[in-house]
Structure 1
Amino acid sequence: MAQYRSQLQNQFLSDVRKRRQAVEIVLETGNVLKGRVKSYDRFSVTLVYKGQTEVVYKSAIIYIAYNRRRQFDSYPSRRRDGERPQRDFRRFSPRNSDRDF
C-alpha cells in the first residue's frame, strides 16, 4: 500500500511540475506557500515563487492544491452569459493520497 501511495504522489508531483502549474502547499503550521514545483524527491518538494526557492519536507505538508479550470462546454445549461467558468480546486495530501481524489 505504501508503494501505491508513493507512485500516486510521484505521478501527481510530476504532472504539476511538467505542466508548470501554480500550486498552494498548506503546512502543519497553517502557513500557505504558493509557487511552482521545481523538483521533488522521496522526502521533500522544491518550490519556486518569484525567483525564490524553498524546500519543504513532505512530512510538514497537509495538502497540495492546484487550480484547474473547467471547460466552457462542460455545463452549458448552468452557464449564463457573462459568467466566468467555475473553478475546480483539486487537492492532494501526501499522507492520505488514496482518499483525497
Structure 2
Amino acid sequence: MGTVLKVMIHKLLDENNISMRELGRRTDIRTATLHELANHKRQNIHFEHLNRIADALGITDVRKIITFDEIATHSLKQTGMKIEIPVTCTHECKRFLIHSPIHLHNDLMKTVR
C-alpha cells in the first residue's frame, strides 16, 4: 500500500461554479498547470499554487484542496502485470472490478469491496 496526494480541482470548480480558466485568472496559475493538477498528471505540487488557490476561493482548510488516497498494488496471477487501484474508488469502479473478465487475487477484491 502507498499513498497518492491529489489536488481536488474539479470538485473546487463545481463547488464554486467557476471554470478552469476563471480559476487560472484568479490565481495567476497557467490553465495548463491547473489541468495537470486536476488530472493528477503533475509530479510536483508547489505550495505557492495551493496558497493561491486557497486565497482565490476563500479556503482556510487545506483538506478542502488536497486529499491522500491509499493505493493498493497487486500483481495479476497469470501475467505478473502490476496494477494500482485506489482503495477509495467509486461504486462504478468497484462494480467494474468485481465483474471484470480479469481474474484478480482474492485479497485485492476484499480491498475494493
Give the TM-score, by structure 1 length. 0.28
Higher relative contact order (CA 8 A, sep 6+): 2
Report the structure, 1 or 2, having the larger strand content.
1
